[in-house]
């Protein structure tokens, strides 16, 4: 009986603190970028991609969006809690978007854009698998 | 390994062009800023020696043998290692003898794949009775002349794995990939050979890739007969003796992938293999084709 009481109390406590935990888990600044992957095959050296970049923050402030290709920010938003940007660019290697405060270099949030090369200069890696179920 | 000269030149040219362009700044832009030039030439890390992957999903491969079960495919493991000369690719062991801009020639060792069908078999018992003029009577064995009173088992005979050695020629380019193979038994199992050719082409658009494949293979009489013939000591009332001759078979397949991330993809594949005529006519063969398919999620580590 005592065990049951303890268990019930524990579950009740857990349920009580869950909303607070979920609130605490929410990052102060979030950055979402789509798409995240460039797939390169034979003859292709880059992907032309249009990125949809969206960010939001719990605190209104001046934020700047940066990427790996440039030393200066792509765009800064004065006293904002959210923002978005569309950018068309050619991608040939992995890079990142990240958000910083207007003053400072601390990365508040960042997203990596990956490049996947599906062909190979080594012909052996393009060998046809003998097994019909070999899908990799 | 093959050096992608054209790609390297393109990359150097692109880098030179880009160096002269002013850095694009889109700080004040609204909407879609002008296309940002490629920040750098193609600069991917060198390929790793190991290639490890796993796919989980559902698939099946039909078994052409009588009294057999289809082969379920729920997990597919990809294990390969590529050194400068030596390599291992999912059971195939190779040594690269020649590698130039025209082709790659490998000396290979492998295990014959026909044997795989003989692992999923079972036994069926048949009772014999001779019917004539509406009457059923006892059947007699043509060999002994004695009446057959007990059910006779039907079971595919046992076959051994064969280790085969041979040569493989790989060709590849913008036009696709082609392979020529020639293998001979070196394990004194069937003492035959197989010669095959295949061609595949992969289209990739966005995250989606599709790759049709066609191939043809000639299996010698010794190889065909060892696996698919009914030898004198295996013949019975229910399994007539049969000698399989050499012949040409073909197959066609389609593999598709949708890349979810750099390491994870949705994969769907299907393959149809038409057995060579003499194998298809064997009393051991119930279906003259092998159909395989698989759909699942693949991880490349």
Question: Please, which residues have CB within 8 angstroms of residue B67's CB and are 6 or more apart in sequence?
Answer: B121, B122, B123, B124, B154, B155, B156
Q: Higher pLDDT residue, A55 or B38?
A: A55
Q: Is the pLDDT of residue B20 over 50?
A: no
Does B258 have pLDDT greater than 60? yes
From CA A112, how far away is CA A101, in angstroms rounded?
Answer: 19
Looking at residue B127, its pLDDT comes to 58
The nearest CA of chain A is from the CA of B195 a distance in Å of: 14
Query: In this predicted model, which residue has the larger pLDDT, B44 or B30?
Result: B44
Q: Which of chain A's residues have a Cβ under 8 Å away from the Cβ of B90?
A: 129-131, 134
pLDDT of residue A104: 79
CB-nearest to B42 from A39, A68, A93 is: A93
* Candidates B35, B55, B293, partner chain A, best to mutate (most A CBs within 10 A): B35
Whether A36 has its CB under 8 Å from any CB of chain B: the answer is yes
pLDDT of B11 reads: 39
CB-nearest to A133 from B31, B273, B294 is B294
Q: Distance (Å) from the C-alpha of residue A79 to the closest C-alpha of chain B?
A: 15
- pLDDT value at B251 more than 50: yes
Best residue in B9, B11, B14, B40 for a mutation probing chain A (most A CBs within 10 Å): B40
pLDDT of residue B32 exceeding 60, the answer is: no
Give the pLDDT confidence score for residue A114 in this predicted structure: 94
Residue A75 CA to residue A91 CA, distance in Å, equals 19
**What is the per-residue pLDDT across B141-166, written as a single tens digit (0 to 9) for each?**
655 666 666 666 677 888 999 999 99
B108 or B47: which leads in pLDDT: B108
More confident residue, B266 or A69: B266
What pLDDT digit, counting tens, does each position of A2-53 carry? 545 554 555 554 455 555 544 455 678 999 999 999 999 988 889 999 999 9
Q: How confident is the model at residue B108 (pLDDT cuts 50, 70, 90)?
A: very high
Higher-scoring residue by pLDDT: B17, B109: B109
Distance between B234 CA and the closest CA of chain A, angstroms:
29
Averaged pLDDT, B15-22:
35
Nearest-by-Cβ selection for B61 from A90, A118, A132: A132
Write out chain B residues lying below 8 Å of A71, CB-based. Answer: 23
Predicted TM-score (pTM) of the model is 0.75
Q: Do B207 and A37 touch (CB under 8 A)?
A: yes
Interface of B with A in 209-238 (CB under 8 A): 209, 213, 215
What are B258's two structure tokens?
């949708």
pLDDT grade for B122, boundaries at 50, 70 and 90: low
**Residues 42..71 of A with a Cβ closer than 8 Å to B: which?**
42-46, 48, 50, 68-71
Please, what is the average pLDDT of chain B?
Answer: 81
Give DSSP secondary structure letters for A49-106. Answer: EEEEEEEEEEEEEEEEEEETT-SS-SEEEEEEEEEEEEEEEEE-S-EEEEEEESSS--
What are the b/e assignments for A54-83, b being 16+ CB within 10 Å? ebbbeeeeebbbbbebeeebbbbbeeeeeb
| Per-residue model confidence (pLDDT) at position B152 | 64
- Segment 95-124 of chain A within 8 Å of chain B by CB: 95, 114-124
Q: Do B40 and A93 touch (CB under 8 A)?
A: yes
Residues of chain B found within 8 Å of residue A49, distances taken between Cβ atoms: none
- What pLDDT score was predicted for residue B84? 94
**Chain A residues with CB inside 8 Å of B9's CB?**
none
Mean pLDDT of B284-295: 93
- At A52, list the tokens: 């949809």
Of chain B, the end-to-end C-alpha distance in Å amounts to 22
- B139 at interface of A, judged by CB pairs closer than 8 A: no
User: Does the pLDDT at position B224 exceed 60?
Assistant: yes
In this prediction, residue B38 has a pLDDT band, given cuts at 50, 70 and 90, of very low
Percent of chain B with pLDDT over 90: 57
Question: Least CA distance to B76: which residue of chain A?
Answer: A134
- Tell whether B171 is within 8 A of chain A (Cβ): yes
Residue pLDDT, tens place only, A52-74? 999 999 999 999 999 987 888 99
| Residue B130 pLDDT > 70 | no
Lowest mean pLDDT among A75-79, B120-124, B210-214, B288-292: B120-124
Question: How far are the Cα atoms of A2, B12, B142 from residue A8, in angstroms, in the given order?
Answer: 10, 68, 80
What average pLDDT does range B133-147 have in this prediction? Answer: 63
A79 touches chain B (CB under 8 A): no
**Which of A53, A127, A129 best probes binding to B when mutated, by most B CB atoms within 10 angstroms?**
A127
């Amino acid at each position: 009986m005592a065990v049951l009481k303890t268990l019930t109390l524990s579950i009740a406590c857990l349920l009580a603190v869950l909303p607070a935990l979920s609130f605490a888990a929410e990052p102060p600044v979030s950055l979402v970028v789509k798409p995240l992957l460039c797939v390169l095959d034979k003859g292709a050296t880059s992907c032309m991609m249009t990125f949809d970049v969206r960010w939001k923050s719990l605190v209104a402030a001046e934020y700047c969006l940066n990427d790996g290709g440039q030393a200066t920010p792509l765009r800064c938003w004065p006293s904002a809690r959210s923002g978005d940007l569309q950018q068309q660019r050619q991608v040939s290697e992995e890079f990142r978007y990240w958000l910083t405060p207007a003053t400072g270099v601390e990365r508040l949030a960042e997203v990596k854009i990956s490049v996947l090369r599906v062909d190979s200069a080594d012909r052996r890696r393009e060998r046809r698998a003998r097994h019909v179920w070999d899908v990799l | 390994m093959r050096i992608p000269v054209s790609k390297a030149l393109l990359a150097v040219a692109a880098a030179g062009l880009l160096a002269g362009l002013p850095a694009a700044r889109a700080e004040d832009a609204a909407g879609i800023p002008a296309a940002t030039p490629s920040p750098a030439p193609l600069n991917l890390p060198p390929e790793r020696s190991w290639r490890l992957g796993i796919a989980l999903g559902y698939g099946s491969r039909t078994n052409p043998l009588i009294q057999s079960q289809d082969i379920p495919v729920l997990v597919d493991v990809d294990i390969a290692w590529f050194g400068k000369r030596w390599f291992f690719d999912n059971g195939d062991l190779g040594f690269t003898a020649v590698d130039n801009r025209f082709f790659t020639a490998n000396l290979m060792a492998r295990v014959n794949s026909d044997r795989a069908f003989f692992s999923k078999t079972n036994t069926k018992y048949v009772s014999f009775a001779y019917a004539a003029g509406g009457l059923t009577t006892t059947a007699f064995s043509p060999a002994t002349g004695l009446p057959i009173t007990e059910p006779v088992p039907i079971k595919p005979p046992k076959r051994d794995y064969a280790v085969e050695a041979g040569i493989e020629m790989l060709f590849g380019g913008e036009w696709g990939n082609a392979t020529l193979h020639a293998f001979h038994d070196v394990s004194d199992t069937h003492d035959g050979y197989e010669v095959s050719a295949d061609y595949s082409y992969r289209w990739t658009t966005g995250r989606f890739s599709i790759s049709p494949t066609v191939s043809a293979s000639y299996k010698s009489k010794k190889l065909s007969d060892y696996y698919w013939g009914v030898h004198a000591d295996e013949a019975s009332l229910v399994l007539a003796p049969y000698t399989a001759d050499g012949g040409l078979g073909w197959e066609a397949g389609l593999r598709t992938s949708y890349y979810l991330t750099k390491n994870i993809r949705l994969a769907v594949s299907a393959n149809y293999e038409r057995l060579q005529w003499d194998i298809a006519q064997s009393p051991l063969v119930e279906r003259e084709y092998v159909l395989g398919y698989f759909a699942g999620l693949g991880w490349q580590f």
